[in-house]
Amino acid sequence: MTTKADEPPVSGMGTPEFTTLTREPLGNGHPEPPEIVVVGDAVRVTWPALMVEALLTHGRDHAAGITAELAITLGGVSVHWARLDLTSTSGREGVVRKLLQVDRGLPWRPVLETLCYEGAKAFRAGSPFICLMPRLRPEAQRFLIPKLLVRRESNVIFADGGHGKSLFALALAVAATGVPLPGRHQRTSDRPRARRQPGAR
């Protein structure tokens, strides 16, 4: 059975399945630091010695604080699920009061304090920065037409109307395929010359 944090506790929730769990003794009344795993937009915080696992999902950072959905399991059994303002003291105390009705032998208050602090820190940290700037390719691979037409980029031709932009773009498209432009003949100096073999007439 699961209730919201602001609902009155239900008597008899401290069932034997929780009170008889085998746990390690607490040092100075405080739990050991938890194991924290961040996967996507979810933060999983576990206390293996206490058999407590908490999952924070759908975190949102508002002007008034950070809210997230909090699910807590004890010994693999769900004991709490609700949306919680991680920065609200009264909200955390409401969850603590409910969980104490489930198992009074656990230090729920330091558990909730650590959970909310680490969750808020993880949500505010966000994802690592990714540089979106493209790397420059070698000069020979960068241009489709050297110094004129760049490969896989937006190329802009601008001029006043009637100055031949469309014709120039058409000429660029033809030249980019490697086909000689119409009316352009190969220069005589560019033509391969046949070499005369010695003794040939």
Average pLDDT over all residues of the chain? 78
Domain locations along the chain: 16-125, 139-182
Question: Is the model's pLDDT at 10 over the cut of 90?
Answer: no
Of 95 and 18, which is predicted with more confidence? Answer: 95
% of the chain surpassing 70 pLDDT: 72
Average pLDDT rounded to a whole number, residues 75-93? 91
Q: Is the dihedral of CA 118, 121, 122, 128 positive or negative?
A: negative
Task: Provide the pLDDT for residue 3.
Answer: 41
Per-residue pLDDT, 20: 52
What average pLDDT score do residues 68-75 get? 92
Of residues 124 and 55, more confidence is placed in 55
- Token duo for residue 8: 């009155």
Q: What is the pLDDT of residue 11?
A: 44
Q: Between these two residues, 82 and 12, which has the higher pLDDT value? A: 82
Lowest average pLDDT, out of 28-37, 100-109, 181-190, goes to: 181-190
Q: Are 54 and 46 a contacting pair, CB within 8 Å?
A: yes
User: Which of 6-10, 19-23, 61-65, 99-103 is the least confident region?
Assistant: 6-10
Quote the pLDDT of residue 94: 93
The 10s digit of each residue's pLDDT in 114-150 is 999 998 888 888 666 777 777 777 777 888 888 888 8
pLDDT at 128: 67
Task: Determine the pLDDT at residue 126.
Answer: 66
Residue owning tokens 């009264």: 90
Distance, CA of 108 to CA of 98 (rounded, Å): 10
